Amino acid sequence: MTFTSFKNARIVRSGWLQEGGRRLDCNPYMSGALEARDTLKQLKVRKDALGTLTKGHAGGIYNGPMFKRNYVGSAEYGVPFISSGSMLLADLSTLPRLRRLDAESGRLSYLRLRPGMMMISCSGTIGRMTYVRPDMDGVWSSQDVLKVVPNPELIPSGYLYAFLSSRYGVPLVVSGTYGAIIQHIEAEHIADLPVPRFGATFEQEVAHAVDAAAAERVAASQYRRAALDLFQSKIDWSEHVSFIASAPMASTLRGRMDAFHYSPRVEAGRASLASSCGARLGDRVETVFEPNRGSRLKVTDPAFGVPFLSSSSVFELTPRAEYLVSRSLTPNLEGLLLSDCDVLVPRSGQLGGIIGRAVLPLPMNVGQAGSEHLVRVRCHFLSDAAYLWAVLASEPGYWALVGTAFGSSIPSLDSSLISELVVPWLPEADRTEIAMLVSKAVTAQNKGNELEAAAVEWLEEKVRKES
């Protein structure tokens, strides 16, 4: 067996082992951290340690203590709470609420996020990063998220984020990972990370693009919220529906005996959708289907593969594929490809999670493959998809949709049951108004992704030219 027989094999220099204190686990050597470090060493520009560029609690790089999480349902008594699993979400409206009394206590108050900070997942999946946008001000973060607070007098926040999230920053961050089962990094592991300085003009240009990306993402959230509020006002939806259990009449059971299907919120959602110009969903779209399940034949060459998106990644700010699947050998590939006329609905999971949460694919993801766990509501027109997203993503739409779920251990949705949902097919002028807001949200989120990607690319190109 030869060296090349091992997939992703790398040659580790003996000098690297000596410099790393003879550390023998793979992570520092396979992550690209040492190559990134050597590239930065060749730069003729000044390099500052990350810990000298931050300020605030614990010097500006910190996570938080372990604590009991007491959740509440009211905004009056709770604050939005983000974790390493939800920090990359594009829509933060579904975040749980941590009890305000706990959040604002002296023990946890410093976990409040402020615009310009950055978050790094520091437990489990290490190195996921996001920039704290203005609409995240007032959100609290968990101990599984490492906060980095730049000192704006020393470095532009957006520039520091662009470097840390680049191909040179990420490997250096994750190289300090420790732990065999559940991995971690701590503040001291990244405090000495070298940050190259390219002058105020260039750094401000990069920072401006990152801040512009954040502004576009805030706009996307505002457009989404405006579209949902407008739709719900058109159907006179009242959010004040009791969670208290009720006893349905025997004549209404119609073959369903599961209690959740008859819960007050679900019944109110169904009734609200059906009360205004109701039409069967399947009659207003091209088709509702679940792609056939089959083996995912992975490839590494983009010439022979299609990016594959999971049912959770489509909810992220920048949905990225974890791998490629074969164009020629993947069974039923055509059914997996995403269309710009699709509304995507995760079909399985725990209630309260992503199951039943409608999402639209971004233009950057159209033509890529999506998980068979995503039900496709394939519409005739782009405008119909935008409008029906608002219908299904609204509060009554969500409850009506998730109310069709069946199964006790892992609830699942069925495309035929989704087709039978009665949805409001409002007058064309109303549908157009709602669809325009949704389209603006998609455009703004996509533009934000392009701006951030461009900022990181500028920085990476600068490093390559100077090294």
What's the confidence (pLDDT) of residue 303? Answer: 94
Integer Cα distance of 222 and 43 in angstroms: 42
Integer Cα distance of 77 and 383 in angstroms: 38
The answer to the question of residue 22 being in a domain is no
Domain with 148 in it = 44-199
Instruction: Return the ∠ at Cα 50 (arms to 46 and 56), rounded to 5°.
Output: 130
The answer to the question of residue 71 being in a domain is yes
Residues 93-115, mean pLDDT to the nearest whole number: 96
Based on the fold, state whether residues 250 and 385 are members of the same structural domain.
yes
Based on the fold, state whether residues 186 and 254 are members of the same structural domain.
no
Integer Cα distance of 246 and 264 in angstroms: 7
pLDDT band at 1 (very low <50, low <70, confident <90, very high): very low
The answer to the question of residue 92 being in a domain is yes
| Residue-wise pLDDT tens digits, 217-273 | 999 999 999 999 999 999 999 765 555 556 666 656 666 767 777 788 898 999 999
Does residue 28 surpass a pLDDT of 70?
no
Domain boundary among 172, 199, 226: 199
Based on the fold, state whether residues 240 and 194 are members of the same structural domain.
no
| Tokens representing residue 36 in the block | 């990134």
| Tokens representing residue 334 in the block | 């055509």
| Tokens representing residue 77 in the block | 């008594």
The answer to the question of residue 456 being in a domain is no
Tokens 């934000």, residue? 448
Residue 203's Cβ-side half-sphere holds a number of Cα atoms within 13 Å equal to 16
Based on the fold, state whether residues 65 and 185 are members of the same structural domain.
yes
The Cβ of residue 161 has, within 10 Å, a number of other Cβ atoms equal to 30
What's the confidence (pLDDT) of residue 252? Answer: 61
Contacts of 407 (CB under 8 A, 6+ apart): none
Integer Cα distance of 47 and 164 in angstroms: 13
Which range has highest mean pLDDT (133-142, 253-262, 286-295)?
A: 133-142
Based on the fold, state whether residues 190 and 270 are members of the same structural domain.
no
Based on the fold, state whether residues 52 and 107 are members of the same structural domain.
yes
Which phi and psi (to 5°) does residue 328 adopt? -95, -25
| Residue-wise pLDDT tens digits, 347-360 | 998 888 899 999 99
Structural domains in the chain (count): 2
Based on the fold, state whether residues 275 and 193 are members of the same structural domain.
no
Instruction: Return the ∠ at Cα 300 (arms to 298 and 306), rounded to 5°.
Output: 65
What's the confidence (pLDDT) of residue 175? Answer: 81
The answer to the question of residue 223 being in a domain is no
Based on the fold, state whether residues 120 and 174 are members of the same structural domain.
yes
Based on the fold, state whether residues 112 and 249 are members of the same structural domain.
no
Based on the fold, state whether residues 191 and 60 are members of the same structural domain.
yes
The CATH number of residue 132's host domain is: 3.90.220.20
Tell which residue, 330, 311, 325, has the closest CA to residue 375: 311
What's the confidence (pLDDT) of residue 201? Answer: 97
Integer Cα distance of 235 and 396 in angstroms: 10
Integer Cα distance of 347 and 314 in angstroms: 13
Q: Report the mean per-residue pLDDT for the chain.
A: 90
The answer to the question of residue 36 being in a domain is no
| Residue-wise pLDDT tens digits, 316-375 | 999 999 899 999 999 889 999 999 999 999 999 888 889 999 999 999 999 999 999 999
Contact of 146 with 63, CB cutoff 8 Å: yes
What's the confidence (pLDDT) of residue 280? Answer: 97
Which of 9-13, 43-47, 221-225 has the lowest average pLDDT? 9-13
Based on the fold, state whether residues 298 and 410 are members of the same structural domain.
yes
Domain boundary among 199, 221, 249: 199
Tell which residue, 143, 120, 117, has the closest CA to residue 132: 117
Three-state SS across the chain? CCHHHCCCCCCCCHHHHHHCCCCCCCHHHHCCHHHHHHHHHHCCCCEEEHHHCECCHHHHEECCCCCCCCEECCCCCEEEEECCCCCCECCCCCCCEEEHHHHCCCCCHHHECCCCCEEEECECCCCCEEECCHHHCCCEECCCEEEECECCCCCCHHHHHHHHCCCCHHHHHHCCCECCCCCECCHHHHCCCEEECCCHHHHHHHHHHHHHHHHHHHHHHHHHHHHHHHHHHHCCCCCCCCCCCCCCCHHHCCCCCCHHHHCHHHHHHHHHHHCCCEEEHHHHCCEEECCCCCCCCEECCHHHEEEEECCCHHHECCCCCCEEEECCCCCCHHHHECCCCEEEEECECCCCCCCCCCECCCHHHCCCEECCCEEEEECCCHHHHHHHHHHHHCHHHHHHHHCCCECCCCCECCHHHHHCCEEECCCHHHHHHHHHHHHHHHHHHHHHHHHHHHHHHHHHHHHHHHC
The answer to the question of residue 2 being in a domain is no
Based on the fold, state whether residues 165 and 248 are members of the same structural domain.
no
Integer Cα distance of 313 and 315 in angstroms: 5
Integer Cα distance of 318 and 449 in angstroms: 6
Sign of the torsion angle spanned by Cα atoms 458, 312, 146, 180: negative
The answer to the question of residue 301 being in a domain is yes
Contact of 294 with 329, CB cutoff 8 Å: no
